[in-house]
Amino acid sequence: MRRSTAILVLLAALTVACDPGANPVVAGGPSGPSNSTSTRPPPAPPTWTGTVVTRSDHRLYVGGTCSTDWKTTLSFTLEGTAAAGTGVAVLTSRGSPCPFPVAQIQIRRFELALTGELRAGVLELRIGDVRHTPSAGADDLGGFRSTTLSRLLRLKVDGNSVRERLILQATDHDRGEYTSVNVIDLRCKGC
C-alpha cells in the first residue's frame, strides 16, 4: 500500500509540473496561490476641503463702487492629477452692495462645480457657476462672478494644504473694473 501511495504522489507532482494551471489537492484542500480576486475595495482618492473668503468690488468709472463679501466652501477629489468637485458660495455682506439705487437684485448664493489639475506642487482650479439664487433678474453686483468664478486659480500646495491670499482683477470694458481679494484655505485628507 505504501508503494502505491508513493507512486500516486509522484504522478500528481509530475502532473502539476506539466500543467501550471493545475491545483493539487493534498490532505483535502488546495495548496498554492488562489485564483480568487481580492474583495478589498481600492483606496479612496484624496479629498480636499476648505473655504475661500472673498471681498469683491466693482469700481465703476461713474457712480462709485459696488462691493460684496462671500464665503465659499469647496470639496473635491483628486483622481490621479485631475480634480473634480462641488461647492457653495454664500453672500455674507448685508444691505445694498452699491452706494446708489439699483434695479437689479443681488445674487445671494451660487452652487458651484470645480475642475482642475495638480501639477508639480501647483493646484490649478477653475470654479464655475452651476446655478444661483435668486435666478430671475439677479446679478452679482460686486464682481465675484467676474473674478473668482471666472479665472483659473493657481495655488501652491504646501504639504497637504493650501493657504494663500489671491488678488484677481478683470475689466468691465468701458464701465469700470472688478477686483476680488480671496483668502484660500484648503486641506487634504488622505494625501
Same domain, 79 and 152: yes
Q: How many CB atoms lie within 10 A of CB 29?
A: 6
Same domain, 82 and 144: yes
168 vs 114: CA distance, rounded Å: 18
Q: Residue 8 above 50 pLDDT?
A: no
Considering the domain boundaries, does residue 42 fall inside one? Answer: no
Which of 182, 149, 147 has the alpha carbon at shortest distance from 58? 147
Let me know: does 55 contact 167? Beta carbons within 8 Å.
no
Considering the domain boundaries, does residue 160 fall inside one? Answer: yes
Considering the domain boundaries, does residue 40 fall inside one? Answer: no
Same domain, 21 and 82: no
Same domain, 88 and 159: yes
Confidence band, pLDDT 50/70/90 cuts, at residue 22: very low
Higher pLDDT, 149 or 5: 149
Let me know: does 47 contact 190? Beta carbons within 8 Å.
yes
For the full predicted model, state whether its pTM sits above 0.85.
Answer: no
H/E stretch holding 8 reads helix 2-18
